[in-house]
A and B are shown apart, each in its own frame.
Chain A
Amino acid sequence: MNSIQRLQCLMAGEMADRRMFTMPLSQYGAALTGCSLEEHYNDPAAYARGQTAVRETFAPDILFGPLIVAAIGEAFGSKARYFDKGPPVVSTPAIEVASEWNGLPFPDPDRHPRLSYLREALRRVVAEHGREVPVAVLLVAPIDIPGLVMGLDAWLETLLFDRPAAEAIMRRVTPFAAELANRCFADGAAFVVWTIGFASPGFVTREILQEFSRPVLVDTLARVHGPVVLHHLEFPLVANLDVLSGLPSVAGFVLAQGDNLKRARRLLGADSILLSGPASPWMRRAAAADVEAVCRKTLENRRDDPRFILASCKGDMYIDTPPANIHAFRKSVEEFAGDRR
């Protein structure tokens, strides 16, 4: 069975030959091909070579386009700082206060160099692997975009103390977020993954979740023409899944390492795909045996759940994560399948 066939089984609610598993190994591709991160984050061909190496080495069931959230900030005029050993971050936001959104030009998803890089890299990975392996791309939900454009604190300030301004910002950001997702679907993405930090209990109150984040998500997701997977970003998400269930276009959720998966399944119903597993920062430092044990426990928890995918959570896998830990992740899935037979 190839990964596409496994995904078809999963969607149909049937058990495949084994569990699907995946980790965002975006930067890790650069580590495998010996490419500098500067080249990795600028040259789509170099990026695609990295994903080929990832597939040859670890064979995950989902490959990824570049994990470069800061590029969305850059597209709006923010400055990003690039590092030798980790992903870039927004260093200087494009604007400082809510009123500056008014004059702010929005990027063209077809033309802006940073978005062109992201999409061209995605297309190349799809062209090379897409027939056998689904390719996902990680973007951010509209509620998380202002954090990259005006900074996290200015966005919190607006959301908390000037709700009409926050809503006005969303009226502009929503069509952009939907459009970018739709272009990525046209480029061949099997899923668009959206971080939803500003719908998670670690970031916002229930009031913001119910009165602001959910309505924005409903509105944007209704304009998206493909399956979206919502991503916990940093903190556990399960406490908010009661409010986040039943959103249009949502195929599933990536949940945190500590999230209660039984409860998540109860809240989301049988059709939603659940993805969870060890967090990437934890995998960087853990012993391989511990990675295997955590994976095993998670698989055990979801033993009879056909729509579960073992997936690392939080961000991209760090480039200095021991390869043995990634192999241990994969081994847990293979051995679990062996036990089931």
Chain B
Amino acid sequence: MTPGEHPDGELSDLNIRRALVAAISRADRERAGQLLDHWAARHGYAAAYKDLLEPALKRIGRGINSERFSLAQAYVAAKVAEDMLTKSAGLLAQNSEPKTVKGPVVLGNAEEDFHALGRRMVATMLRSSGWVVCDLGNDVPAAEFVDKAIEIGARVIGVSAMTMTTALNIKEIRRELDARGLSGRIQLAVGGAVFLVAEGLCDEVGGDGTAPDMLEAPHLFAELWARGERGEDAR
């Protein structure tokens, strides 16, 4: 038995919530998966995601920012989300329901930035929420972001930058979008630890929007996608 679990093994919803946070904290991916299955059996996978996993990840996300959770735990949290996606996608396929596909979007680290971990977790989270993500990796030149977005018809480019110096390189992507007359139609999402500490940095580098963590990323991308469809340049 682990903290948050009931002695007789029967889990109430409240206990499952606690047990899930505890399992992810122990980096116990398997147990986290079992708990989510347990919930899904009662309430369905959509509810398991929305009512169970998301609140747990929120708690963990807050902990990471305050240094109460480790990189390892954050990594496991993203994996658990990915596992859920795989399972529920499998179920959807079985029921032959049409799966809603969002995107595609382009993602990458700003030029000269090599902080892959956060970007990969954002990619995982977006995919778990049904987005098709083209991940260009580290150290991506401005023109490459824009070329790729045009090539695949992406309305959102997501850029991750962890240091002040590399965040300023995002300005070049904005210049590129402006020069090609694409601002508004292709939206620029920015994020990374430095955006949490440097106020006004998103505006300074020409971002259309930012989100503090992987959990908020799907929401931000949805909002920006809608704006992109309207061709809205809100800056």
Contacts and interface: CB of A to CB of B under 8 A. Distances in A.
Most chain A beta-carbon neighbours within 10 Å: one of B26, B71, B79, B116: B71
Q: Is the interface of B mostly helix, strand, loop or mixed?
A: helix
Contacts of B75: 153, 156-157, 160
A14 to B, nearest CB: 37
B72 A81 contact: no
A278 to B, nearest CB: 17
Given A91-B138, A153-B75, A205 B120 contact: no
B29 interface: yes
Nearest to A198: B72
A151 B75 CA distance: 14
Interface string B12-38: 000000000000011101000000000
A212 B76 CA distance: 17
B70 interface: yes
Interface string A196-222: 000001111101100000000000000
Contact of B27 (A151, A160, A201, A235): A160
- What is the size category of the interface that chain B forms with chain A? 20 to 34
Nearest to B119: A153
A71 interface: no
A90 interface: yes
Most chain B beta-carbon neighbours within 10 Å: one of A81, A83, A160, A236: A160
B176 interface: no
A152 interface: yes
Given A205-B27, A236-B67, A152 B139 contact: no
B25 A205 contact: yes
Given A91-B139, A202-B70, A202-B71, A207 B116 contact: no
Nearest to B30: A161
Given A159-B72, A160-B75, A205-B25, A153 B139 contact: no
Contacts of B71: 152, 156, 202-204
A27 to B, nearest CB: 15
Contacts of A83: 112
Contact of A90 (B67, B79, B114): B114
A207 B148 CA distance: 42
A156 B116 contact: no
A153 B27 contact: no
A89 interface: yes
Interface in B122-143: 138-139
B76 A160 contact: yes
A89 B70 contact: no
Nearest to B113: A89
B117 A208 contact: no
B73 interface: yes
Contacts of A156: 71-72, 75, 117
A229 to B, nearest CB: 23
A88 to B, nearest CB: 10
A91 B29 CA distance: 29
A207 B120 contact: no
Given A91-B114, A153-B116, A201 B70 contact: yes
Nearest to B75: A156
Interface of A: 81, 83, 86, 89-91, 151-153, 156-157, 159-161, 201-205, 207-208, 235-236
Given A153-B116, A156-B71, A160-B27, 11 more contacts: A91-B138, A91-B139, A151-B116, A157-B75, A161-B29, A201-B70, A205-B25, A205-B26, A205-B27, A205-B70, A207-B26
13 contacts: A83-B112, A91-B138, A91-B139, A153-B75, A153-B120, A156-B71, A160-B27, A160-B29, A161-B79, A204-B71, A205-B25, A207-B27, A208-B72
Which 3 pairs of residues, A with B, have the shortest CB-CB distance? A156-B75, A89-B114, A204-B72
